[in-house]
Structure 1
Amino acid sequence: MHNTIALPSGIGITVSWFPMVMPEMYNRLDPTDSTSVWDFNSYVPDVVVINLFQNDSWIVTDPNNEQFINRFGEQAPTDTTIIQAYKDFVGSIRGQYPHAAIICALGNMDATKSGSAWPGYVQSAVHQLNDPDIYTCFFPYKNTGGHPKVNEQRQMASQLIEFIEANINW
């Protein structure tokens, strides 16, 4: 049996629907308590899956959003800034888990819609990291409203399992 850890989505890397972003809280046991820090040596995964940027993709286009204003003021982040933030976050995960395979994923919501810049941001960051054990896996755009339903979650899970079996050398 192999160990896998998935970092939660529903939060952004550059901006979220609430004041904190994942780089500020991923290492916490309790996200509201900065002193409750996870011991990364207590569980060492073989694979880490990062599925983030969906929330960023919405908020960076809404200059009236309170968190946009709090993070960026009046100016949206540049492509370079977005890519660097993703690269920095993935690099911090690599620092905690130097031997794990890291899969940089994008879920099946509109961040993966045809014409979306977000897969390119992820690919650029991964390319710049130049690490053969960091992969990208983008789920096909679901083209239905709302968050993924159970059957859509199952489809993504199956695709992720197939991706891991085809690409990760245990």
Structure 2
Amino acid sequence: MKSKLFATILAIALATGIKAGPTIPVSGHVINADDPGIQYVGRVDFTNPQRPAFNFPGTEIRANFEGTSLKMIARPMSGYFMVSIDSCEAFKVSLNCPADSVVTLATALRDGRHSVRIAYAMEGLDTHPEFWGFVLDNECDILRPTALPDRRIEFIGNSITCAYGVESTEKTAPFEYATENHFYSYASRVSDALGAIHTSISRSGIGVYRNYGDVRTGSRDCMPQEFRNTLFADSTRHWDYSRWQPDVVCINLGTNDFSTDNYDASLYEQAYRKFLAQVRGVYPKAKIILLSGPMLGEKENSIEKAVLDKLQKESRKHGDKNVYRFDFTPQTGDLGYGASYHPSYRQQQKMADELTPFISSLTGWQQNVGK
């Protein structure tokens, strides 16, 4: 009982933002990141297998281990992670100092078999996160991994999917990594509710033809370009799509294309049509859902919906019956706002509550299956 209480207190302390201390010589059994017992979910670059790199939010690391404690080793300044031990409530840890490379995830656990699930909470374009391994008790080891769920979803999106500002309650607050948390996004919640694993190919400010606030004619570095990459903004390492074939793909792009009253709906339509073909080309069997988000005003929301409806009808006319449409309920502020008027924690939950049964109806997946 005492060990459980201590672990609970530690989790609460970490969840309130306590950071790892300066790195010191590590005592214990070091497990390298390329150990076959460690599982990765998401776009991960294994150019250096002992220091795998990633920067899309929601990238996961999972393992089973034995012993009474667990530490994680990562590149200093990697940012924020969400951690769940033995499927208990997740807590947040950070590596935000130049000397931080080791952070304690659990201590005083019952001696025996345990599991850990780690999810990258933010966008890592500026922080260049890398996972370097675990530290266990001496004489303890990583155990055989549990098979990952065979239900797979990919979410392609913008700041809404990243869960920009979800931990803030100030609607006029600026972007901060500390208040972004993909773990609380509709994407993560839908996946958990359906007993699935997911990837999140998302970036704040990105569009399908025009990024936030850019010129009317569009941007060069939109999602169609970034979708090819293992790491965001790194065109030297293209993703191998054979490594991940989702059952369902949810595309939520348009909020930035229609931003700042400086858009061309025809260019959005042309770019989205090409991108839809691009996604279908690499995921030939997936059910693709075209989403309209909750943030646009009435005029732009209507334009976006009309374009997406048209593209779905075109797809079906050309024989692709696995393209679907779904509209999130526009946010009104009754559930509060996150930073910069982004969906709040409660709004993200509402979005998940709306989308989950829709995906369930398409796939036959029952809800509330344990993950």
Q: TM-score, normalised by structure 2?
A: 0.39
Partner of 1:163: 358
SS at match of 2:251: strand
SS at match of 2:246: coil
Find out whether 1:38 has 2:236 as its counterpart. no
Find out whether 1:4 has 2:4 as its counterpart. no
Find out whether 1:137 has 2:326 as its counterpart. yes
1: CA distance, partners of 2:271 / 2:313: 14
Higher relative contact order (CA 8 A, sep 6+): 1
SS at match of 2:243: coil
2: CA distance, partners of 1:151 / 1:139: 14
SS at match of 1:35: strand
Partner of 2:226: 25
Partner of 1:71: none
Partner of 2:287: 101
- What's the offset of the Cα at 1:169? 5.0
- Mind listing any 5+ residue stretches in structure 2 that lack a counterpart? 1-148, 159-203, 366-371
Partner of 2:249: 48
SS at match of 1:48: strand
Indicate if the aligned counterparts of 2:257 and 2:268 stay in contact, CA closer than 8 A.
no
SS at match of 2:302: coil
2: CA distance, partners of 1:81 / 1:15: 9
SS at match of 1:29: strand
Indicate if the aligned counterparts of 1:84 and 1:125 stay in contact, CA closer than 8 A.
no
Number of residue pairs matched?
154
1: CA distance, partners of 2:309 / 2:315: 10
In structure 2, give the amino acid aligned to 1:4. Answer: I
Larger fraction in helix: 1
In structure 2, give the amino acid aligned to 1:87. Answer: R
- What RMSD in Å do the two structures reach over aligned CA positions? 1.9
2: CA distance, partners of 1:165 / 1:27: 28
In structure 1, give the amino acid aligned to 2:304. Answer: W
Partner of 1:118: 304
- Mind listing any 5+ residue stretches in structure 1 that lack a counterpart? 63-75
- What's the offset of the Cα at 1:24? 1.0
The Cα offsets for residues 87-122 of structure 1, whole Å up to 9 and x where unpaired, read as 1111110000000000111121115x3662111111
Alignment match of 1:15 (pick from 210, 217, 222): 210
In structure 2, give the amino acid aligned to 1:123. Answer: D
The Cα offsets for residues 4-49 of structure 1, whole Å up to 9 and x where unpaired, read as 1111313101100375210111121222211111110001110011
Find out whether 1:80 has 2:266 as its counterpart. yes
2: CA distance, partners of 1:150 / 1:27: 30
The percentage of aligned residue pairs carrying the same residue is 29
Q: TM-score, normalised by structure 1?
A: 0.82
2: CA distance, partners of 1:82 / 1:32: 21
1: CA distance, partners of 2:293 / 2:152: 21
1: CA distance, partners of 2:230 / 2:152: 19
Indicate if the aligned counterparts of 1:12 and 1:55 stay in contact, CA closer than 8 A.
yes
2: CA distance, partners of 1:7 / 1:152: 19
In structure 1, give the amino acid aligned to 2:207. Answer: G
Q: Which has the larger radius of gyration?
A: 2
Partner of 1:72: none
Larger fraction in strand: 2
2: CA distance, partners of 1:32 / 1:109: 25
Q: Which moved more, 1:34-43 or 1:17-26?
A: 17-26
Q: Which moved more, 1:46-55 or 1:30-39?
A: 30-39
Indicate if the aligned counterparts of 2:247 and 2:287 stay in contact, CA closer than 8 A.
yes
1: CA distance, partners of 2:266 / 2:241: 29
Indicate if the aligned counterparts of 1:87 and 1:129 stay in contact, CA closer than 8 A.
no
Indicate if the aligned counterparts of 1:107 and 1:138 stay in contact, CA closer than 8 A.
yes
Q: Which moved more, 1:146-155 or 1:121-130?
A: 121-130
SS at match of 1:135: strand
Partner of 1:65: none
